[in-house]
Structure 1
Amino acid sequence: MSGYIRPLAERARAASHAIAALDPDQRAGLLAAMADAVDAGRADILAANARDMQRAEAAGTTGAMLDRLKLDDGRVDGIVQAIREVAALPDPVGQVTRQDTHANGMTVQKVRIPLGLIAMIYEARPNVTADAAALCLRAGNAVLLRGGSEARDSNIAIAARLHEALRAYDLPVEAVALVEDTAREHVLELLQLTDLVDLAIPRGGERLIRFVAENARVPVIKHYKGVCHLYVDGAADPAMATRLAVDGKLSRPGVCNALETLLVHAGIADAWLPGALQALADRGAEIRGCERTRALFPAATPATEADYDAEYLAPILAVRVVDSIDGAIDHIQRHTSDHTDVICTTDDTAAERFVRGIRSSAVMVNASSRFNDGGSLGLGAEIGISTTRLHAYGPMGLESLTIERWVVRGEGQVRHPESDAA
């Protein structure tokens, strides 16, 4: 043990009690103060990010990782707005989700309480520092943040602004505890702290997430990758299908809810597929297709089975023509990452067949895969997307950062009155 992580986690754990003791208005006010502090400190944050970007570029970082690292005024505006949106959300702590009165007069409730201390392990995206802090604190938790070395200066600058707000509220800054030393051995130590850390959430590439899942003794919520599918049904509206394909693949290729595979019903393929793929190619997409796809769009390169398992995080799209909706569902079941799958159809029966047949964390009917994120689904900023079928599945907002416990209110009732000595 390094002697660095445990003391930091102990202070964060103690700080969690102070956050849990705040009332909903105080937590909302704290977040509003954090948003103001980030806004006021944007010059320092952008300067720190410029240093991170310079080091990343010098190290040869490109593509999706570089895009995730970059901050500009617009993205800082997004961070500030996300904190404000979380502050405005209903507080889940203390929410009664079930209540029954038993025949003996005893009242039994299920009530939401904070998880406690949440560890976030992430890479590249400095906005996660603020998003995770806002969500964890709003739900009454403390957070222990371990960002990647590539975003170290950005994360320190953002955390410093969040700490300003905590000090203004006379709260311990360790409620947002940042692991500034990004050595890997500290991550391993963090993942063993079963007496301090209630939940670990890794957010980043598949390699990082597998490392966390394979080395953790604390509970882990995760998703490995986003292999998202669009199935264009035989009864699809052609113009709608093209819009969904272009938006899903190209609006931001380097994110986990971007499309990676296009499945097309044979009944619509001849009329729709060549034009749709040309529209994608004209916008910079590389098409990899099955033999039937290449017969209709010769510019496509041959797709392998590995292509249908790939999360490209790039403007590359794997395409397959299928004979039926069952063929599409079968393909998705074999290649799914349980993230997001979409059907485009005007046939309500086909839509319901697809929804029932797919188990992914989000199923979209005639809507872009890009809507599977916390903000678009009304959660405010999300802390991550879970494809682990535990207490949270899909984008994780405030409710996912609480648990339900039983609260029983009685007037002296006992379970076995016959054994009552009185």
Structure 2
Amino acid sequence: MSVTPETLSEPELQAASAVAGEVRSDVLDLQGLLSSDELKLRDTVRRFVHERIKPNIKDWYEAAHFPVEISQEMGALGLLGMHLKGYGCPGRSAVEYGLAAMELEAGDSGLRTFVSVQGSLAMTAIHKWGSEDQKNRYLPGMAKGEIIGCFGLTEPTAGSDPSSMQTFARRDGNQWVISGAKRWIGLASVAQIAVIWAATEDGVRGFLVPTDTPGFTATPIEPKLSMRASIQCDITLENVTVDDTARLPGAAGLRGPFSCLNEARYGIIWGAMGAARDSYEQALAYSLERMQFDKPLAAYQITQQKLVDMLLEIQKGTLLAIHTGRLKDAGTLAPVQISVGKLNNVREAIKICRDARAILGGNGITLDYSPLRHANNLESVRTYEGTDEVHTLILGNHITGIPAFR
């Protein structure tokens, strides 16, 4: 009698999935494009995901719980602010950061998002635009996961168009008084420090606001159908007063926050392929074991077509991620190239996850399997750091020379 997925425990299914994926999936030998150090880093993060995230993610997702304690575990692995150098930061390459993002999102988009908010957004803002005192004060603790940061840019009425932000910082002698609201701010209710972007009389500026400052309130957005193992919040700022030393001195205009967004968008290029790969591997393992009409699902032509289409897009998307990473490490990566990766890889990953869910049949709607959870999460990934429409317009502007944003 054939063993079916219903008789396998989740760890056994994960093991079968991993074996199937390794043996059958890297048709183009993309692994051969990676150095021994890059492979070692990838394997270290992969082990962490298999041991720490995958056994727990079903319960975390169901309970809408973000395990705050994992921040220091990730810090100990060197996953926070990976691409930043100095101030206690790991100083890894762009490709290494990308590989880590891919493995983390194979676990769950929400956990990868934590690394992105902490490192690519909050830490990058301080590293790029902060004073030496600010860098020394915050970055070492943030790299260890002892200090959690958040990044307040999006507002209730200013998502894709941050130039219309209503949050305003008024100069009052040597202090700034900030009033306004932010929405969909990751980690805000568990963060100790918030990077808040606000309009001023001299344009947009960034401020480091301790979250225990009077007038600062972060409220988790609940309930959610996506990113349930992560935290996103509404922030209200009611006459929040900070000294001028809290201002990021190097940040002037929207160039400041956009430079951080590009770092986060880059990580998404890799992360989306992690979610897609995990979904594909589960569907492949399931189809090889699940018996229907006296043979496995994988023996049917329609199933094989679905698996092949998934595999092609994962291979192409991963190749795109590696190429983008090499450009970034060479210092030649352009923002429009990041838009190519973000738009393509997230869009294809969602389709892969949905097709993988279809192969799983009715079992695929349960949290015993990852594809539908990944697909739900990717709806958020598709929206944040630039929607499909925004990245389409960026590319349209690039190829025609005509901006069509208004």
TM interval, short-chain normalised = under 0.3
Quick check: which has more Rg, 1 or 2? 1
Q: Whose helix proportion is higher, 1 or 2?
A: 2
